[in-house]
Each structure stands twice: as structure tokens, then as C-alpha cells.
Amino acid sequence: MRRRGFLLAAAGIGLTSACGSFTGTARRGRIAVDLAFAPTQGLSPYSDDGLLLSRLAVVDGLTRMDTEGVVHPALAEKWVRTSATTWEFTLRDARFQDGGRVTADAVEGALTRAGRARTQPRVLSDMRLTARAVGERTVRITTGAADPLLPARLANPSLAIFSPAAYGKDGKGGGVDPVGTATGPFALTKVNGAVSATLDRFDGHWRGKAAARGLDVTFVADNNARANALRSGQIEIAEFVPAAQALVLGDRAREVATVRTTTLYLNTRTGPLADAGLRAAVRESIDTSALARSVYEGYATRGTGLLGPGFAWADGKELPATGRAKAAEPHGQTLTLATYTNRAELPEVAAALQQQLRRAGFAVRLVVKDYARLESGALDGEYDAFLMSRSTALDTGDPVSYFASDFTSEGSFNISQLRDGRVDSVVREAAGLEGAARHRAMLRAEAAILGTDAAVPIVHEQHLQGVGAGVRGVVLDPYERQFVGLETRA
């Protein structure tokens, strides 16, 4: 049963909205969309902004992943593995949004620049690849070690293929201009910083014309504002609407099972929590049993590990955490706990954790801001604890990339600042395996990570997407790469 006690009161919050400046666009064949997260890196595909490009159907990779996690051809119509470390991809006849043909040389250039990017894509945290054109329509990709997940890896938005014009004069992979240079069914035509974006249908897409003529997108961090704009008809689609508005929204709130876990990341390198004993004290002081029912209105389950029930092979098979330190006395140590407003439940969860940690003897300073204002500080180790909602299969559809990017010494999204040789070793081992052996190795990696107390799982989530009455074809994707699709119409 979902608890609905305060839904009507919550739904009354923020009844006026800054959203919906594109009111009525559906009558002109366009769709108005409110997204929860604004670009933080100028829509660079090498950052999390690549996910925005993917969710708005701007980009294609050589492959694509469907809502079941199955990999399909995209810009590559077929591929073959010619050795343990070498694959050949045959390109289909496709064009860039600027009119140029997608050639093997263009693909080689795009993948080479991704590998050299100043902001390292997370999907490359645990491997390196080399792309070479071998003819006009064939690309040979070589990996440093055997990588059975390469086709799935190439479906990641950070490895999307852009026209040579996207890179300008910077041949070092520093910048990518995605406006009119990608291959997806919608082309960016205008980006207004972190406020809004305009997209028009790309009629030359290889899969055919999209159903909608275009998208008018506003980036709105206020969760209630997105939901209220949907209720009032100012927009057609709203990303991540609050559970507290589910009853009021009715069938406009679409439930999506996810592979997402809300986790408290603890800074293992600087500050009080560099002490493993104090990290253990944090873990022991946290009680997550009531949060799934209260804060998440039943759209979550208690966190039992990093992976959760979204992975059937891992559900209920967690191994005991290994090597945990004995909890130390906090003695009033002050912790800075940060989280962001873009997901409705996180500030409330952070406040609950603050109270639990205070009862355990910590002093806790809470920092709550828009995600774009927190990300760089979190990655630089500015906070002692960072509460975030993280898709554990976003990078490749497989948790090894998540482990590598978030918890290994060279990981590009290592908010916990973890440097642990044992963790590095077991994650590296898992990356080289397949099938059941890979699953067992991932469970060992999970146990090793939890043994460092670098992360404390809080809940395993479901989320709600807001879809207006009469809207069809919105993609409800557990892997969160898709949202607007070829068939989306209002």
C-alpha cells in the first residue's frame, strides 16, 4: 500500500509556475517538455549532459539499448568480434544533421576525441578503446583488454557520433558543439544556457521522421513546478514528478521500475570521514527502514546493497561486506552533508539522515542546492557526505562500469574519493569475465566496496514520469537513456 496522507496538501505547493513558456505547442505539432536537470557542462556528451542529449533523442551511437537492456544496431547495422580484443562494425547509410554522411573516418574521429576528452566519460573509466577506419563503411575497434560488453558500451550517450564540424578547430577532444551536428531524430537549434532549449525534427534520420515536429524544453529544478505545469496543461511531458503528487496527477504519473539506488557517499580521503572508524559510525547510525514508506510514498524499497532488486541475479544474493572497521565515537565531529533539489525526495531524506547522525553524536551541516551547483564540489571532495540518486546500470547496462567510475582509484565519478587496491583488483577481475562468473565477481566487488564504508545504500527507487493526457509514445525506460522517442506525439 502507498501512503497518501499528505498528498493533497503537498500538491498545493507552488501552484504558480515559471514553466510552460511554450504553452499550447502541441497544437502546432510540437511538444513542451520540462526536464529536472539543467546542463552543467555546456551539453558536452562526455559529461552527464550526454544523458540529456539522449533523453531528447538528439544523438545516436553505433549501437542502442532498449528498455529491456538488449543491444540493437544503430549507426552500425552489424558487427563481428574478430578476436578477444578486436571488433569490426559495419555502418549503415546515415547522415548527420548538418547534411554530411556518416563515414568510417567520421566515426573514428568521434570515438578518438571521446577517448582523449579532458572530461573523461564515465563509460571509459574501466577501459580504453582505439577506433580505426578500414574502408568507407567499416570501423575496427580495439580494446586494451577483452571487453565482452563493447557493443553495450558503444550505446552510451558519451560515445555518440557527431559530425566533424562539432569539434571545430580543437582536435584534442576539448569541446563538442551538439547544435545541428548529431544524427538523432531531433536536432538542437537553440540552447539558452541552463534555462531552455529548442529542437526541431531532423527529417533525414535513418529510422524515418519523428512523429513530433519539434521539442520546446525548459530545465526546471523545482519538482512541484514541473508537476503543476503538467497539471495545468502548460506542458505535455514532465520528468521525475514527485511521489507526493501521484494521487493528484492520476494516470498522468507513470510508474517506472529502475536500476537506481539512493546512496550516501562518504569522503574517504579528507575531513573527519577519512577515518574508517567514523565512516563505520555513520553507517551504524543510519536506519533506512522507514524512509521507503514515508518519504518515497512506497515508490522505493529499503536499500540492501548497491545494486538492488533491479538485477534479478543479484537480488537477495548479496555477500557480507568484507573488511569493515569498528565504529569509533563521533565526539561531536562536524560533517557537511550535501544533496540536491532536482529529485523531490532527496532533501527530505537528507534531513532525516541529519537527525539520525546528530543522535549518534555528530554535528551535521546540511547543504541543499540545485545539482548543477554541487557537482564540481562533490567530485573535488568538498563535502564529507553526499546523498545522491544513482542509476547503477546507466553506463553500459551492467554494474561493472558503475563500480569502476564511482569506486576505483582512477574512476571519473569517484565522489567518495576512494583509493583501495583491493576494490580496484576485484572490479578489474569482474570486467574481464562473462555470464555467471561475471555476476559472482560483481557481488564480490559490491562486498569489497561496502567493506570500505565509502557508500551507504539508502533505498532502491522507482520513479514517476509525468505524461499529459493524450500524449503517446513517451519512452518509460528503466535505464533512463530514453524519454522522448521517435513515436512520441501529443
d(CA 206, CA 183): 8
- CA of residue 485 relative to chain centroid, distance: 18
Return all residues near 68 (Cβ < 8 A) that are at least 6 apart: none
Q: What is the pLDDT of residue 322?
A: 87
Q: Residue 351 in 3-state DSSP? A: helix
β-bridge mates for residue 419, sequence order? none
> What is the per-residue pLDDT for 478?
87
Q: How much is the pLDDT for 465? A: 96
| Residue 218, strand partner residues | 34, 196
Name the band, by pLDDT with cuts 50, 70 and 90, for residue 451: very high
- State the cell numbers at 5: 496522507
Buried residues in 451-474 as b, exposed as e (16+ CB within 10 A)? bbbbbbbbbbbbbbbbbbeebebb
Beta bridge pairs of residue 301 = 460
**Exposed, middle or buried by CB within 10 Å (0-12, 13-18, 19+), for 358?**
middle
Residue-wise pLDDT tens digits, 63-103: 999 988 889 999 999 999 999 999 999 999 999 999 999 99
Asked if 234 and 225 count as a contact pair (C-beta separation under 8 A), the reply is no
Contact call for residues 484 and 31 (beta carbons, < 8 A): yes
Each residue's pLDDT tens digit, 177-230: 999 999 999 999 999 999 999 999 999 999 999 999 999 999 999 999 999 999
Say how far apart CA 349 and CA 365 lie, in whole Å. 14
As a whole number, mean pLDDT of residues 303-318 equals 86
pTM of the model: 0.79
For the residues 252-276, what does the mean pLDDT come to? 95
CB 304 within 8 A of CB 249: no
Confidence tier at 327 by pLDDT (50, 70, 90): very high
**How high does pLDDT run on average in the chain?**
90
Query: In angstroms, what CA-CA distances link 186 with 15, 168, 172, 213, 477?
Result: 31, 21, 27, 9, 18
> Which amino acid is located at 390 in the chain?
R
Beta-carbon-side half-sphere exposure of residue 386 (alpha carbons within 13 Å):
26
**Which cell is 411 given?**
574512476
Tens-place pLDDT, residues 130-148: 999 999 999 999 999 888 8
Q: Which of the four pLDDT bands, split at 50, 70 and 90, describes residue 479?
A: confident
- The C-alpha atoms of residue 306 and residue 402 are separated, in whole angstroms, by 10
Pick the range with the lowest mean pLDDT from 39-53, 302-316, 337-351: 302-316
pLDDT surpasses 70 at 14? no
Q: What is the pLDDT of residue 244?
A: 87
Q: What is the DSSP string of 234-258?
A: S-SEESS--GGGHHHHGGGEEEEEE
Grid cell, residue 315, equals 537480488
- Is pLDDT at 488 greater than 80 in this prediction? yes
- Cα separations (Å) of 478 from 20, 278, 481? 26, 35, 8
C-alpha cell at 360: 549518534
Say if CB 484 and CB 264 are below 8 A apart.
no
Q: Does residue 378 carry a pLDDT above 60?
A: yes
Give bridge partners of residue 391 from the DSSP assignment.
260
Report the pLDDT averaged over residues 155-176: 81
Q: pLDDT band for position 174 (50/70/90)?
A: low
Please, which residues bridge with residue 369 across strands?
A: 340
- Beta-bridged to residue 83, according to DSSP, are 86
Percent of the chain with pLDDT over 90: 74
Query: Are 383 and 365 within 8 A, CB to CB?
Result: no
Domain architecture of the chain: domains with CATH: 37-219 (3.40.190.10), 260-462 (3.10.105.10)
Parallel/antiparallel/unpaired status of strands 186-192 and 196-201: antiparallel
Res. 427: pLDDT tops 70: yes
